[in-house]
Chain A
Amino acid sequence: MSTATPVRTSTMAQALNAALRDAMREDRSVHVLGEDVGALGGVFRITDGLTAEFGRDRCLDTPLAEAGILGTAIGMAMYGLRPVVEMQFDAFAYPAMEQLVSHVAKMRNRTAGKLPLPITIRIPYGGGIGGVEHHSDSSEAYYAQTPGLHVVTPATVGDAYGLLRASIASDDPVVFLEPKRLYWGKDSLDPAAPVEPIGRAVLRRTGSSAVLITYGPSLPVCLEAAEAAKAEGWDLAVLDLRTLVPFDDETVCRVVRSLGRAVVVHEASGFGGTGAEIAARVTERCFHHLAAPVLRVTGFDIPYPPPMLEHHHLPGVDRILDAVARLQWED
């Protein structure tokens, strides 16, 4: 990857920007389009400088219409381009739902493989940034429930770069969910590191008592909870899923079988959420290894609350530790 940016300290936002830039440098078919992605560089500056370097045709400010943006990207992909679409916020992506569900997810299938759509749809998601309503949704379950889409969500600076590169390179459509409250977190970034494939979970912390299974914005919360759990005598592992579809049953089940206790943690509402799917899958596959039911710690089943109240909604360290305490340790 000769064009790649050298190793440096980077925010997640800068890592995503570097991934877009490197992908566009290496492959002329990669085009970025969305609202305010040009001169402004996106409201989160993820596309900063791309129009200046590649021109407005390669990083295109579109009219303000999400179905039109994604529908146009579909046609561009049909012609052989590799579009990367930016949706400005999670809840602003909903007008594009029909294009996503009826066309992006199905085009390969309904044309017997003749028209694959290598489109990456970047969506800043989740809360915790003090946003007013419609700026903090966790919409991953909608996408994960739609066959034909990959659903990827990085939680670290390195994964933000590597998984975005992998998503753009994928010949399948990828919904790339960016945990917006982690945009400004810093870490070392080595763009030359091998790109992680889509679909592999990773153990962020080893432990001997139980595992917290999580992804995206909840990873730092889980790591904090694991640290705090030491005082209670629990040695918690933390598993970062990184990809919701395809789901890494193999890694998840290996860890759960070895520990026998698991809690799934995510911001999105619990009912019908990805946590329910994960708990069911783990129970179906690891029942005889489980010492306790798989528990879920999630957002409440309410519309996303106003910013002054969101901390009551978001899973925090205490709520996670309460769940860990209910893992039937007395047995």
Chain B
Amino acid sequence: MTVLDHRHHTSVPGWRPGATAPRTDPAPLLPDASPVRVLGTPALEKYDPALLRELYRRLVVGRRYNQQATVLTKQGRLAVYPASTGQEACQVAAAMVLGAGDWLFPSYRDTLAVVSRGVDPLEALTLLRGNAHTGYDPRATRTAPLCTPLATQAPHAVGLAHAARLSAEPVVALAMLGDGGTSEGDFHEALNFAAVLQAPVVFLVQNNGYAISVPLTQQSAAPSLAHKAVGYGMPGRLVDGNDAPAVHAVLGEAVERARCGGGPTLVEALTYRLEAHTNADDATRYREDEEVAAWREHDPVLLMERHLRGAGLLDDLLVRQASEEAEALAARMRAEFHSDAELDPMSLFAHVYAEPTPQLREQAAQLAAELAAELAAEAEVQH
């Protein structure tokens, strides 16, 4: 019998492709056939009015935050601001579904989620102001630093959630990503690790249709980004990302499922970035005005106000209160960023290692000498 002669084999090993049943029935993992919606549906009646009003309040304040930060870039007060204008429903819902002990892993466009989580609005902008890489204490706020390299924070969320599960603490991690980020290898590796480890983590993909200028059709040929979940063995959910109660409900379910040992979930929220990628971008080069105008009609803040008023859950007083809170925040941002922050150049060497290396001590001494020489020269001129 030669190696190639299979005639004498009556059975083949069970590992060959197709020989074994799927380990998980894929049907329950498939995403919703159409995006989950709450606003404008009978489902709205089942929601706690207090929750709906809180979502509305956060949306209004969040929109103003985005607008004011964008203005600050035009005044040179922020180095850059990737606005989440139009994506506020995802931003505030992501923050609201997490408990105090849970962790948020935001990307660079998720400053508003960080603020909505309770981080000081000015500290959250430190990175984008350019005076430090992170302005808040990640451990105290359970909020990872804003992550710029796409999807690279997703495996961190998995690792943290895995560690929490090992210590039997009911902690959930939520990682925020964009449609472009789903093309990155780290996205794939994070979802695969999360499913294999059954880590209590939720991945929120805010699909705003563009990775800077490249449309989703050139990013992925998947039926939906939520369908990617099935390949990893976790459920995928599809939600209208501009419908705040819907995003809150879908994320909330995923977080509680993770907390109860149900493993990870991938949530795709369909939304739109009403502003350009950043203040340095020109969105008219890659998308039509008609498209933007259509999405302005599906604005998450307007939708919320229209439907809550229609349901009798919102009156002029609540609208005015939210607006006043938003204006107060904007005024605080303008006042704070009007002046330059006091920065200590010697802090450059403070946190490279637990203890500075001999080489860094030498370099710090060099910088200190340069600073002293500058001061002396200034004093000379004044004298």
**Which residues of A are at the interface with B, using a C-beta cutoff of 8 A?**
57, 62-63, 65, 67-68, 70-81, 95, 98-99, 102-103, 106-116, 147-148, 150, 170-172, 199, 245-247, 249-250
Q: Are B132 and A112 in contact (CB under 8 A)?
A: yes
Give min CB distance, B111 to chain A, whole Å. Answer: 15
Query: Which of B182-190, B271-279, B327-335, B371-379 lines the interface with chain A?
Result: B182-190
Give min CB distance, A76 to chain B, whole Å. Answer: 4
Query: Contacts A63-B189, A98-B152: A72 and B354 contacting too (C-beta < 8 A)?
Result: no
How many angstroms from the CA of A95 to the CA of B155 in the assembled complex?
14
Residues of B within 8 A of A77 (CB): 159
How many angstroms from the CA of A98 to the CA of B155 in the assembled complex?
12
**Which residues of B are at the interface with A, using a C-beta cutoff of 8 A?**
103, 132-134, 137-140, 144-145, 149, 152, 154-164, 166-167, 173, 185-186, 189-190, 192-193, 196-197, 347, 350-354, 357-359
Query: Contacts A110-B145, A112-B351: A75 and B155 contacting too (C-beta < 8 A)?
Result: yes
- Among A99, A109, A250, max chain B CB count under 10 A is at A109
How many angstroms from the CA of A170 to the CA of B197 in the assembled complex?
27
Q: Are B160 and A112 in contact (CB under 8 A)?
A: no
How many angstroms from the CA of A296 to the CA of B201 in the assembled complex?
50
The 4 residue pairs across chains A and B that have the minimum distance between CB atoms: A75-B159, A71-B155, A68-B189, A110-B133
Q: Are B160 and A76 in contact (CB under 8 A)?
A: yes
Residues of B within 8 A of A148 (CB): 352-353
Residues of A within 8 A of B166 (CB): 57
Give min CB distance, A65 to chain B, whole Å. Answer: 4
Q: Are A249 and B359 in contact (CB under 8 A)?
A: yes
How many angstroms from the CA of A57 to the CA of B167 in the assembled complex?
11
Q: Are B358 and A108 in contact (CB under 8 A)?
A: no
Q: Are A110 and B155 in contact (CB under 8 A)?
A: no
Query: Contacts A72-B155, A75-B157: A115 and B139 contacting too (C-beta < 8 A)?
Result: yes
Q: Are A75 and B161 in contact (CB under 8 A)?
A: yes
Beyond the given A65-B189, A110-B145, A246-B353, could you list 4 further A-B residue pairs with CB under 8 A, ordered by the A residue number? A72-B155, A74-B155, A111-B133, A249-B358
How many angstroms from the CA of A229 to the CA of B59 in the assembled complex?
77
Query: Contacts A95-B185, A98-B152, A114-B138: A72 and B359 contacting too (C-beta < 8 A)?
Result: no
How many angstroms from the CA of A305 to the CA of B137 in the assembled complex?
48
Among A68, A70, A78, point to the contact of B160 (Cβ < 8 A): A78
How many angstroms from the CA of A77 to the CA of B354 in the assembled complex?
15
Residue of A at shortest CB range from B141? A114
Give min CB distance, B94 to chain A, whole Å. Answer: 18
Residues of B within 8 A of A74 (CB): 155-156, 159
Residues of B within 8 A of A63 (CB): 189, 192-193, 196
Residues of B within 8 A of A250 (CB): 358
How many angstroms from the CA of A172 to the CA of B103 in the assembled complex?
23
Q: Are B144 and A78 in contact (CB under 8 A)?
A: yes
How many angstroms from the CA of A115 to the CA of B156 in the assembled complex?
12
Residues of A within 8 A of B158 (CB): 68, 71-72, 75
Query: Contacts A80-B163, A199-B357: A112 and B173 contacting too (C-beta < 8 A)?
Result: no
Residues of A within 8 A of B347 (CB): 112
Give min CB distance, B341 to chain A, whole Å. Answer: 14
Q: Are B138 and A246 in contact (CB under 8 A)?
A: no
Residues of A within 8 A of B354 (CB): 108, 116, 170-172
Q: Are A111 and B138 in contact (CB under 8 A)?
A: yes
- Among B149, B347, B353, max chain A CB count under 10 A is at B353
Q: Are B137 and A245 in contact (CB under 8 A)?
A: no
Residues of A within 8 A of B352 (CB): 108-109, 147-148
Residues of A within 8 A of B140 (CB): 114
Residues of B within 8 A of A110 (CB): 133-134, 145
Residue of B at shortest CB range from A115? B138
Residue of A at shortest CB range from B201? A75
Give min CB distance, B214 to chain A, whole Å. Answer: 20
How many angstroms from the CA of A150 to the CA of B185 in the assembled complex?
26
Q: Are B160 and A108 in contact (CB under 8 A)?
A: no
Residues of A within 8 A of B162 (CB): 72, 75-76
Q: Are B192 and A76 in contact (CB under 8 A)?
A: no
Q: Are B154 and A113 in contact (CB under 8 A)?
A: no
Residues of A within 8 A of B358 (CB): 246-247, 249-250
Among B138, B163, B357, point to the contact of A245 (Cβ < 8 A): B357
Residues of A within 8 A of B139 (CB): 78, 114-115
Q: List 7 A-B contacts (CB under 8 A).
A: A65-B185, A67-B155, A68-B158, A76-B163, A78-B103, A108-B351, A170-B354
Q: Are A246 and B157 in contact (CB under 8 A)?
A: no
Q: Are A62 and B133 in contact (CB under 8 A)?
A: no
Give min CB distance, A93 to chain B, whole Å. Answer: 14
How many angstroms from the CA of A36 to the CA of B197 in the assembled complex?
16
How many angstroms from the CA of A78 to the CA of B358 in the assembled complex?
27
